[in-house]
Amino acid sequence: MPVREASGLKIWQRRTQRESLSHWALWLVGIAVFAYCWQQISAATTWFFVWDAPRIADDIWTRATPPKWEYITQLGKPIWDTLNIATMGTMIALVFAVPVAFLAARNTTPSRFFIRPIALLIIVSTRSINSLIWALLLIAIIGPGVFAGVIAIAIRSIGFCAKLLYEAIEEIDQTQVEAITATGASRWQVMAYGIVPQILPAFAGIAVFRWDINIRESTVLGLVGAGGIGLQLSSSLNVLAWPQVSLILLVILAAVVISEWVSAKVRGAII
Ranges within 194-213 binding other proteins (CB under 8 A): 194, 197-198, 200-201
Identity of the residue, 165 or 220, whose beta carbon is nearer to other proteins in the bound complex: 220
How far apart (Å, rounded) are the C-alpha atoms in residues 87 and 231? 18
The correct pick among 21, 32, 140, 258 for binding other proteins (CB under 8 A) is 140
Does residue 118 belong to the site contacting other proteins (CB under 8 A)?
no
Is 27 in a helix, a strand, or coil? helix
Does residue 9 belong to the site contacting other proteins (CB under 8 A)?
no
How far apart (Å, rounded) are the C-alpha atoms in residues 184 and 262? 42
Ranges within 86-105 binding other proteins (CB under 8 A): 87-88
How far apart (Å, rounded) are the C-alpha atoms in residues 140 and 238? 21
Ranges within 145-174 binding other proteins (CB under 8 A): 145-147, 150, 173
The correct pick among 75, 92, 249, 266 for binding other proteins (CB under 8 A) is 249
How far is residue 222 from each of residues 36, 64, 95, 138, 206, measured CA to CA in Å? 36, 21, 25, 13, 25
Q: By CB under 8 A, which span of 19-27, 99-107, 193-201, 261-269 interacts with other proteins?
A: 193-201
- Residue 167 neighbours by CB distance under 10 Å: 14
What does the DSSP assignment read for 186-227? -HHHHIIIIIHHHHHHHHHHHHHHHHHHHHHHHHHGGGGTSS
Does residue 141 belong to the site contacting other proteins (CB under 8 A)?
yes
Contacts of 122 (CB under 8 A, 6+ apart): 100, 158, 159, 162
Size of the site for other proteins (CB under 8 A): 74
The correct pick among 72, 92, 180, 266 for binding other proteins (CB under 8 A) is 180
Please name which of 74, 75, 76, 82 lies closest in space to residue 217, comparing C-alpha atoms. Answer: 82
Please name which of 259, 224, 102 lies closest in space to residue 165, comparing C-alpha atoms. Answer: 102
User: From the CB of 98, what's the least distance to other proteins, in Å?
Assistant: 15
Task: Say which amino acid occupies 110.
Answer: P
User: From the CB of 133, what's the least distance to other proteins, in Å?
Assistant: 6
Ranges within 33-72 binding other proteins (CB under 8 A): 33-34, 36-38, 40-42, 44-46, 49-50, 53, 56-57, 60
Identity of the residue, 7 or 73, whose beta carbon is nearer to other proteins in the bound complex: 73
Identity of the residue, 87 or 243, whose beta carbon is nearer to other proteins in the bound complex: 87
